[in-house]
Amino acid sequence: MKFPIYLDNHSTTPMDPRVLESMLPYFTEKFGNAASRNHAFGWDAEEGVETARKQIAKLIHADAKEIVFTSGATESNNLALKGVVEMYHEKGDHIITSSTEHRAVLDTAKTLEAKRGVKVTYLPVDKFGMVNPEDVRNAITDKTILISVMFANNEIGTINPVKAIGKIAKEKGILFHCDATQGVGKVPIDVQDMGIDLMSFSAHKIYGPKGVGALYVRKKNPRVRIAAQMDGGGHERGMRSGTRPVPLIVGFGKACELCEQEMAADAARLSVMRDRLHATITKALEDVYLNGHPTERLPHNLNISFAYVEGESLLMGCKEIALSSGSACTSATLEPSYVLRALGVGAELAHSSIRFGLGRFTLDEEVDYAGKRIIETVTKLREMSPLYEMAKEGIDLKSVQWAAH
Amino acid sequence: MAYSEKVVDHFNNPRNMGSFKKEEDGVGTGIVGAPECGDVMKLQIKVENDTIVDAKFKTFGCGSAIASSSLATEWLKGKTVQEAGKIKNTDIVQELNLPPVKIHCSVLAEDAIKAALADYQKKADSK
């Protein structure tokens, strides 16, 4: 086994060597500008870009013309929300989104509230982190121009009822944007069947390169228009100017092609591994709680709270394994995960959460090792925890008068 | 964030981890912090003839919180009650090289020392 072990695949993924191989010629031999129309260098580059566009579109059941390249999902989310608000401001000024969205959506919505006077409804989620489509329906007003709900959550892996939300959006004639950064390439997504009008995703979450992403923009039924947020040469059908990063786009295309071919097998293998890890941990330790939905979740995601143990200390105790925690101590804000808080998870359990993100290159032995080390470390830290000691003495921790600081 | 060597050492080899019986003669107990804030420290001292002869801690919190309380027990042992009251959080920050975002861990350790001393004093006075 090689150390450190990488189990943080929601954060980013290693690039698949096959993706790297597809990219290499576009750095040196086929280095042209895809917008150069009158020489072979440009044609070669354009061919690479257009092949990638087809590969990407195929994975999500879209048309190649509906793919707009961006620098990543953050830019795609910004472009979708800001672009729709600017284009459709005469129709209305209300957006519906959810409280567990990624910051790229939440902070964009907040900016639109502050700078453009847009009204935003932040829908609550249930205890599993799921948006209720009926809540979406009830939040719609005659001023609503956009619904933006994520496909799957980046912390807890809960998959939203996207198709039901898409149906409501269609019924009401409102545009539906979906941040599918965590879902694309991991589970089947069909923008036609799911009624998605705009969709953000990126390459580096699916074993492709960092620095490139896409926004799917529906062309028919309805034809979606967005105002460009970057002025320049009018690339990407005028929606996103800037010279296309050809090698990155080629790699993105290859990554999508591989996902299309291997997604089902990857998901099957990783969900078995993930379930075994979960079972091993719950068998060995008491007071561990699953965060997120028990079944409607990404196949490679596991998020657990270990009561009486603080998340950052747990990561420090297993530092040969790359993991992530919802603990405040791992964030710059000193607040524990807003996603877990939105689920109704108590702050003390939010501080105790660990996210495991498995990936295409995760080995059985790595997951087994991680399970063993987590169990050892939790046991050690509980011995050190005054909360565990009090709980063992039968003291109800909720009844204690804590001096909050 | 990278941890200082001393924090890592205290985290991996905590000094004086454990508990005394609260009712025991000469034992002062301080519990500070709150679970929802992500750190709780329990610090205990055992006093004989005005001198702290032993100290123990248990901490729920990040590595720096664990290290701060572990260090505090090391420093408390052998000090008189008066000397112990003079330990400052800034001394802990300096010794452990805590970054600004972890200063609250040292504040909590100072609070825990003060709470344990106060509890000892209260028990002594009520005799």
Position A222 scores a pLDDT of 96
Which domains are present in chain B?
A: 5-125 (3.90.1010.10)
Cβ-contact B70, B80 below 8 angstroms: no
In degrees and rounded to multiples of 5, residue A149 shows phi and psi of: -130, 135
- 8 Å CB contact of B60 and A402: no
pLDDT for A330 beyond 60: no
Interface-testing mutation among B36, B57, B101, B110, with chain A (most A C-beta atoms within 10 A): B36
Can you tell me the mean pLDDT for B93-117?
Answer: 95
Can you tell me the mean pLDDT for A108-133?
Answer: 98
Q: What is d(CA A239, CA A226) in angstroms, rounded to the nearest whole number?
A: 7
Can you tell me the mean pLDDT for A55-80?
Answer: 98
How far is CA A19 from each of CA A174, A208, B71, rounded to the nearest angstrom? Answer: 37, 6, 50
Give B7-23 pLDDT, tens digit per residue: 999 999 999 999 999 99
- 8 Å CB contact of A347 and B36: yes
Residue A191: which of A183, A237, A137, A135 has the closest Cα? A183
Helices and strands (H and E) in chain A: how many: 13, 13
Instruction: Look up residue A236 and give its amino acid.
Output: E
Can you tell me the mean pLDDT for A194-209?
Answer: 98
Which domains are present in chain A?
A: 5-9+263-391 (3.90.1150.10), 17-259 (3.40.640.10)
Assign B101 to helix, strand or coil.
helix
Give me the residue label for tokens 């995960």: A337
- 8 Å CB contact of A313 and B63: yes
Chain A CA closest to residue B67? A313
CA distance to partner chain A, nearest, from residue B19 (Å): 9
- Beta-bridge mates of residue A371: none
Please tell me the total number of residues recorded for chain B in this structure: 127
Position A332 scores a pLDDT of 60
Q: Which active-site residues of A does the annotation give? A: 329
Q: Is B110 on the interface with A (CB under 8 A)?
A: no
Position A257 scores a pLDDT of 98
Q: Are strands A213-217 and A198-202 parallel, antiparallel or unpaired?
A: antiparallel
- 8 Å CB contact of A328 and B59: no
Can you tell me the mean pLDDT for A152-180?
Answer: 98
pLDDT band at A335 (very low <50, low <70, confident <90, very high): confident
pTM equals 0.95
Selecting from A312, A347, A385 the residue whose C-beta is nearest the C-beta of B63 gives A312
pLDDT band at B1 (very low <50, low <70, confident <90, very high): low
Chain A CA closest to residue B112? A403
Q: Is A346 on the interface with B (CB under 8 A)?
A: yes
Q: Is B37 on the interface with A (CB under 8 A)?
A: yes
Selecting from A383, A397, A404 the residue whose C-beta is nearest the C-beta of B37 gives A404
- A397: enclosing H helix or E strand: none
The rounded Cα A360 to chain-centroid distance in angstroms is: 16
Can you tell me the mean pLDDT for A80-105?
Answer: 98
DSSP string, B46-97: EEETTEEEEEEEEEES-HHHHHHHHHHHHHHTT-BHHHHTT--HHHHHHHHT
Position B127 scores a pLDDT of 78
Give A13-39 pLDDT, tens digit per residue: 999 999 999 999 999 999 999 999 999
- 8 Å CB contact of A405 and B41: no
Neighbour-count burial of A284, counting CB atoms closer than 10 A to its CB (0-12 exposed, 13-18 middle, 19+ buried): middle
Selecting from B35, B62, B63 the residue whose C-beta is nearest the C-beta of A402 gives B35
Q: What is d(CA A331, CA A340) in angstroms, rounded to the nearest whole number?
A: 14
Q: Is A201 on the interface with B (CB under 8 A)?
A: no
Can you tell me the mean pLDDT for A389-400?
Answer: 92
Give B36-55 pLDDT, tens digit per residue: 989 999 999 999 999 999 99
Structure tokens at A285: 């330790």
CA distance to partner chain A, nearest, from residue B40 (Å): 7
- 8 Å CB contact of B37 and A347: yes
CA distance to partner chain B, nearest, from residue A32 (Å): 41
Q: Above pLDDT 70, what percent of chain B?
A: 99
pLDDT band at A329 (very low <50, low <70, confident <90, very high): low
Q: What is d(CA A199, CA A148) in angstroms, rounded to the nearest whole number?
A: 9
Q: What is d(CA A117, CA A193) in angstroms, rounded to the nearest whole number?
A: 33
Look at phi and psi of residue B69 and say left if phi exceeds 0, alpha if psi is from -120 to 50, else beta.
alpha
